[in-house]
Structure formats: C-alpha cells, structure tokens
Structure 1
C-alpha cells in the first residue's frame, strides 16, 4: 500500500475586514498542511447595505482568490460569510451576484456557527481537545465567545462588538468612556459570565483572530524584546499595559509599537474590547491560536468524510515543528524536511512490498502512527546542536525526553521519538541498552525497525555527493531493493575515491543493520552512468 492518500481542500472566509483563502493538503489522520494562504482586504461595516462599489470589490476579491486555485486539483471548496453579511439588508443581492458571475455558493453562517467552526480550527493548532476551553474570537463586525470540550460546543454566543464598528462609533470620536461603557453593557446583556459559572468555569482561555495575534506580537515585542517566549500568550496586566501605551486616536504612536498602517487604525478598539472581556469573565491569561475560522471550515469538510478523524493529529505535528523551530536554524529545518521525504518513501515502499507481494512477518504495522513518530524524530534529531555540535544527538535525546513541549504524544511515544533522535547516528542500539529497555517489548521492536529506516534515510539525504529525484522500493527473492532514479553527481566531491566507493562506505554499515532487524537483505541501486556504469548497486 502506498502512502495515505492526500486531498486538497479549500475554504474562503468572507469576513468583515477581509476575505481569506486557505488551500490545504490533508491526510485522513488529521494532518493539515497549508499550501496557499491569501488575503484580500475589504472592510465591510456591520448592518450597512452593500453599495454597488462594495459588491464590485467583493466579486473582484473572490476572482483573485479563486484564480490562485486554478493550477491545483481542489476536491472541495466552501465559502462562508460572517457578521457583515448576516446583518446586511441586501446581502441576498450580493450572494446572488457571486453565484451568477463565479458559480460559487456562499454560506452565510450564524454567530454561533462561526464560533463553533473557529473552535474546530483552534483544535488543529493547540492540543486542547480534552480540556474545557473558553474561546474568544474578535472580528471586525462581531465577537464570538464559546466554551467547548472534546470538539463539542457547551455554550456559544455572538456579541455585536467588532473592532471596525467600535472604531467608527467611538474611537474616531475620541470617546473612550463611551467605548468602555458600551462594551460592558453588551457583554453584561449576553449573560455569558453567568452561563460560564453554571458550566463550572473553564480550564484555559484561547484567543483567535488577527486582532488577538497582533496584540500578542506587540506585547511580546515590547516586553521581551525579541527573546524566545515558551508560551505564546499574554496576561491581563500585560494587555492593560498595552492599552495604556496605545492611546486613543494616536495612530503614529500605535505604528511605533509595530502595527501595520491598516491594523493601527482599529487595534485600539480591539484591545479595549479584549481587556473588558478579560475583566468581565475574570480572565488572568490567554493563549493564542494561529488557526481559526477558515481552518475550522476545512477540517469539518475533511472530518465528515472520515469517521476515524484524529482531532489531535495536527496539533501534535505543530508541537513538533514548533520545538524544532525553537532550537534549529532555517537550513537545518530544510534539511530535516528533505530527510523526512526520503524516509517516507522508504517507509511506505516497504509497507507496499509487505502488503502486495505477500511477504510473511511484517516487522511492524507500518501505519501512519508509526510514521508520525519517525517523522517527529527526524525533525528533532538536530536540535541538540543548539547546545553543542559534539555529541549533539545525545543532547537532542535529553531535550525531547524532558522538554514537556510535545503535548498529544503519550509518554511512551515521546521516549520512542527521543531514542530515534539519539540513535540516528553513531552506534546502532543494542536491545540490552538501558535506555532502550525503558520501552516495553513491542515498542522496543518498533524502535529498532524505525531506527534502521531513519539511519538509511539520513545517509542518503546527507551524502552531498549524490542527489536523486525519485526513490522506489521493490522486493525480489534476494530481498529488498531501493532504486534511486534521476541521480545527479554534479555536486563537488572532495575525495579521490570513486563515487560508488564513497556511497558504499556510508551505506554498508546501515545495510548490515537492516538485515539484522528485517532478516532480509537490502540493496541500493543507482541506475545511472554517472556513477561509473549502467547500474551500480550497494549491498552487503
């Protein structure tokens, strides 16, 4: 069986401040990989009719966004419209024009539905599926509040409070007292605080939307001056200090704090609104999600077609990438992703052989869960270099095992990932090694199989004297055969040894380990004249 099928799914969020497009590649397990993100600014005031000019701009923005999808085989596309469309007296006119000109159906969703979909998007960014979460999503025309757990909405409401409408009604008039009073009145009338108490409160608070993310960036820039911050979020006191620094109507002062010109005009209203929500609901600190409504729309489309959808898979993957990015430079990350590609071809190539050729006794299940651990180890195996290059694989092991920044993985999976990073180079692990004995018997066997695959992938990727376009795995009575096609030897080699000899010196020890674990030989073939003949094979 080949690697799990991937789908291309797209969504457009027609918000009050801009239209946003996301095209994502998804795996059935729940992994979501953004392919294209585009945004077309288009402020739409809540409750106002859409003028002819606004309708022209809206259709033009959608044409631009959908044009970006043309080169891609998109299986599903969904458009959702929020507060400005909900309250516009002539929304049906614009919706009909979009359908007539572009052939697209627009789904105008309620505030509660917007909150629910945003919550589903947040679950793809943070591993909070099992936690009782309060979600705050501030938009241009409305603010959504939600309490949820395990993907289910326990209570949600939409407040007629948005940074665009509040800016027009109060900030541009310099009326700070009126702004605060109005926000408090609307929050109080919603009874959300009372509903929250009835549900037993909440374990954590997450903020979504551009307003919250811009506030988070400004606080981080001002308070920690670019240093790494373990948790991306902020406290009530930090938010209060920012509001004081922003000042009402002082746009140049706001720009000096790092806000874009477009965001600077509306951020004060958004920050005051968020501060009032903090005080009304007794919030002490908030974490930030990069994902929101548009991701939620996509993930719901995917989940409806997959009853076994894993809501935590994408959040686990993001925790790995975040940890790798914290310790690794851009070049090492790029190299790690290339190595993941090689390992994926080997992993699923072996699986295909066992599934189709009928070889008895597959050493592990070769499912996506196993590959996920292998992938995590490859992305993290170099992070120890942040401590020192000598013995960096041992440093990587300690960081992964003890960092506490891989939520969503079990303790046994974290041990496995750490050990794979530890033994991706140098000595091959023995079964009796103390660190390996920490795993239970089944996981120890899985570790040795994955370790063999990682080590071969690392050698093939790091050998700078050979590059290839495609890797395929075949099986014959003699054993397995890895065939590299499109081999290029144009890179310089600082050695007088023949190219094939250099490759053998790197690969032969790993091929011995493969035979030890799989009980079958592995051959690596380079069918190119550039390597000194019609076909060269590295074998044990």
Structure 2
C-alpha cells in the first residue's frame, strides 16, 4: 500500500507569486517561488517587453493608441504565462509607474485594459514606488541596519528613497527619466541643456536638503539603466578595454562602481569622436537600451555630483521584488524583511555570474531539488527503523542543497568545459557567501563541484575533514542535486507542477510541464528518450544512496492525468 507523501498538486503553484511592472520604458513580469516560513523567495521566470509608453508623454501628455495596443499585447502575453503556470490572481499584482501616472488619458487606458483583459492595475504614486523599490533592494542587499540611499532611474522618473531598518525616512520621485530626457534633449544633441534641466529639477525639489538632513551610509542603484552602467564599467567600455577583460578578476568588485569610472563612461558615450563606428559599437553592447543609455548615464553623473556620491553599489532587485515582498508581508504574519542575509548573498552571487536563461535554469533545479528533499524527509520521518536513513535531514541541509543548485552553473561564464570546477573555485574564493562558516561554504562548493561527472568517493581528502554525520548528509544531498540537474536539463519544458510520493516499489517524482513551444506528437517520445538517457546513470546513483529506486514520470501533455506515461 502506498505511503502518500505527495504534496497536493496545487502546492507548488500555491507558493508562486507574481508582479507586473508597467514601466515607462518596458513592461516586466516577475514570477517567484516563495517560502513564507523562511522568508526566502527565488526568481523562477522573468520576461520584459519594450513597450516604451513614456515616449509619448513629453510631446502630447497622453499615451497614444499604438502604445496602448503594444501595452495590451504585452499584458496579454503575461496573462497567458501566469495562467499556464497557475499563478493565482490573488498572488499577483500589476503596478504602473510614471508614464501612466502622468498621462492625461490614464483612466481611459486603464479602463481599456480591464475591459479587454479583465486586469486591475494599481497606479503607484512616486513616493509609493520609491518605498517598494527600497523593499526590493532589502531582498538583495544586507543593508537593513544601514542608512541606505536608493536611486532608481526609470523611463519617466527617478525615485529616491532613504531607508533604515525597513522604514522609509524620506522618499520622493522626480520627473527625470531616461526616455523623456532622450526625447527632449538627446535626440536634438542638447546634452548641456539636459544637464542644466537635471540640476534645476534636483535643486528645486528639496532633495539635496533632505539627503543632507538624513545622511546615508551607502548609495545603491537599482534600475536596469544603472545595472547596464555597471556592466559597461566592468567591461571597460569607457576605457576601450572590452576585448582584454579578465572576466573572473573583475567580479571581485561585487556590483559597484566609482564616480571616476562613471565619468569615464559618460565621456566615452558623449564624445564626438567615432561617428557611425562608435554608434554601432554602442548599439552592439547596450542593445535595446542603447537609445536611452546616454540620458541615463548623464543623469546619474549629475546625481552623483549634487548629492556627493563617491561610489554606488548595484542591486539586482528593484520594484518587482518589492511588490512581491509586500504581498508576502501582508499574507503571512511575522514575515521578516530582514530574514536570510545568508540566502541573499547566494542569490547575489548567482545573479552576478549567470544571465537570465542560466539563472532560470538554476532556479528550476532548486525547485526540483526542494521537492525531492522534502519528500524524502517526510518519508524518513514516517519510515520504520529498518528503512530509515542513518541521518536526519533538517532545514539547514535544504538551504545548502538549494544554494548549490542556484550556483551549480555559474562557471559556465568561462565556457562549458570543466564549468563545475570553475563554479567551485568561484564559491571558494573572494568571500562571496556572507554569514556562512568556512565549513558551510566548502560543503556548498563541493556539492556544486560534484553535481556532474564522476560520483564522488567519500574517502577523498576533500571530505576527510568533515564529521561522519556531515559526510553522510553530503552523500544524500549529492545524489539529489545530480538527479535535479539532470531533470532540469529537459530544456523543452517549463515545470508547472511536481508531485513526490513513496510506495513499496520506491519513490516517484511526477513532473507536470508546459511546453515552451508546440511539439509534434512524434517528438514527445524522442524527448522522453532523451530524459531516460540522461537520467539513467543518476537514478542508479540515487538507488545506491537510498537503497530504493526513484521513478521520474513526465506526462506527455499537461491536459492529461498524472498517470505514468513516460517513466524511468
């Protein structure tokens, strides 16, 4: 008789939260898996559509009909993704910022969205937007106890907030955005006039006096524009060193740049030398943001000057994560904005080395590993003494496993060959993981190193300094991460639901999936065979460790029941 350890099919989606940021430049969808008991959440999916609502505002003060159509199509696409991943509307929030806030026809636009798609949109005030950006930054940077000045440059406005211990001391929004400044000045080659406008707006806003009054320990930039500026600084764009950068050496800076580095970049972007060749170079590097990067960089340089900023750290999280964090704090009593400084350092490191595609793959791997781990832990608690594992698994073991999953592929930045070893060396060097002991860092790094290739021998020197119980746990975690990575490599699907169970025959993991693109019927069997070929070796390792088999079931269609069809 089966021991039902399966979480309900809806459990996975019950932990999914989403935010839609309808910005002046682009619309962004963020889907995360949240664990309200620990306060941790992990990005599962990001999508961005370049709607550029803010382009119309300087000239007409309204959102044009073509822009409204682009906006509705982007939201329709987001809605389909949310539906396919079964994210509850009660756990989703849509927010609009400067362009919608300033548009004379915003009521008409919002009514059209509701009438066409049935979606409700919250239009944020500038102060509310600044507060949510601060909440997002707190999920990325361990600055809860510091007085932090947060700056977020958007398409139609720039938000400033000074916060400490989760409370906003001051927040404001100025009508200075990279899209509107580009339309008003950059396109007419009026850089000096743009600088004058920026200084005038800041000086008359009272911002300087408030910053002097409150002071700040650290300045943090959180927008896409600022992240691209940091990337350009790192790659030596302003010093023409892009072809000779040592990729891994530069990451020791840990997401920051100085006033001097920003000045060098602005000088290069605004220089008259280079002509078309320089424009092609800029377009190739900054891609879709190329049109607006001059305005964004000049704006930030002026902000540095008037506020006396010498160095800025950069956050990978911003408004979307703030919306999710607030949603969690309202749904779950006792949700702690300052929880898990350790986990945030793992997320920062993964985000630093991975692009969006690899980060999504790592997040999916962590979700699979968590499902297997929790299922095994439940089984172990209920099993009789004869079948029990020799060790008990706890929440810290799960944290190590999820951290290793999130970091297993960071070494791919230097190429696929031997990337697991490169990932190991990155983790072990430069003190990236904060709050972990030396032994914990090494344990995570070794899990990463051994997630592929030969299954580790536990008499090896690298493991000898660990206590016997730690080595036994490592063996279990190693088997789980290897299976999880292999399942995740099934690249043609997005995981929608998972169910883990146990019976007399062993464990079973059922994965319900959504296809990224339609597949022909004869392709499904081919994909199943690919999964079987890749997983067979790791499932055998799993059997050796647990003395029980693990069956992985991937139904050929999400519309069908979860009965085994393609099994391993």
Q: TM-score surpassing 0.5?
A: yes
Distance change (3 Å), C-alpha of 1:149 and 1:245: same
Q: CA deviation at 1:161?
A: 1.6
Q: CA deviation at 1:93?
A: 3.2
Partner of 1:474: 502
Structure having the larger proportion of residues in helix: 2
**Aligned residue-pair number:** 495
The correspondence for 2:377, drawn from 347, 351, 375, is 351
8 Å CA contact 1:484–1:524 kept in 2: the answer is no
Q: Does 1:241 align with 2:241?
A: no
8 Å CA contact 1:473–1:483 kept in 2: the answer is yes
Higher-Rg member (1/2): 1
Q: Does 1:268 align with 2:294?
A: yes
Partner of 1:428: 458
Within 5 A, what are the aligned runs for 1:121-520? Answer: 121-203=136-218, 205-221=219-235, 222=237, 223=239, 224-225=241-242, 227=245, 228=247, 229-230=250-251, 231-247=254-270, 252=276, 253-258=278-283, 263-309=289-335, 311=337, 315-322=344-351, 325=354, 343-355=369-381, 366=393, 368-378=395-405, 380=407, 400-407=427-434, 409=436, 413-418=440-445, 420=447, 425-428=455-458, 435-436=465-466, 445=469, 448-455=472-479, 458=482, 474=502, 481-483=506-508, 510-511=544-545
* Distance in structure 2 (CA, Å) of the matches to 1:453 and 1:198: 51
Q: CA deviation at 1:43?
A: 2.9
* Distance in structure 2 (CA, Å) of the matches to 1:144 and 1:156: 7
* Distance in structure 2 (CA, Å) of the matches to 1:432 and 1:34: 33
* Distance in structure 1 (CA, Å) of the matches to 2:552 and 2:107: 62
Residue by residue over 1:138-187, the C-alpha shift from the partner in whole angstroms, topping out at 9 and shown as x without a partner, is: 12221111122343322212122222333344334443333222222222
Q: CA deviation at 1:113?
A: 0.9
Partner of 2:22: 14
Q: 5+ residue gaps in structure 1?
A: 438-443, 464-468, 515-521, 529-540
**TM-score, normalisation: structure 2:** 0.70
Partner of 1:38: 48
Residue by residue over 1:52-100, the C-alpha shift from the partner in whole angstroms, topping out at 9 and shown as x without a partner, is: x714632552243234423422213322222233333443333333333
8 Å CA contact 2:32–2:45 kept in 1: the answer is yes
8 Å CA contact 1:46–1:83 kept in 2: the answer is no
Distance change (3 Å), C-alpha of 1:483 and 1:286: same
Distance change (3 Å), C-alpha of 1:404 and 1:173: same
Q: Does 1:75 align with 2:88?
A: yes
Distance change (3 Å), C-alpha of 1:74 and 1:219: same
* Distance in structure 2 (CA, Å) of the matches to 1:170 and 1:384: 42
The correspondence for 1:120, drawn from 135, 154, 172, is 135
**TM-score, normalisation: structure 1:** 0.74
* Distance in structure 1 (CA, Å) of the matches to 2:286 and 2:410: 33
Residue by residue over 1:373-432, the C-alpha shift from the partner in whole angstroms, topping out at 9 and shown as x without a partner, is: 123235556879999999999987665344311235455642442455578743326999
8 Å CA contact 2:345–2:434 kept in 1: the answer is yes
* Distance in structure 1 (CA, Å) of the matches to 2:415 and 2:286: 38
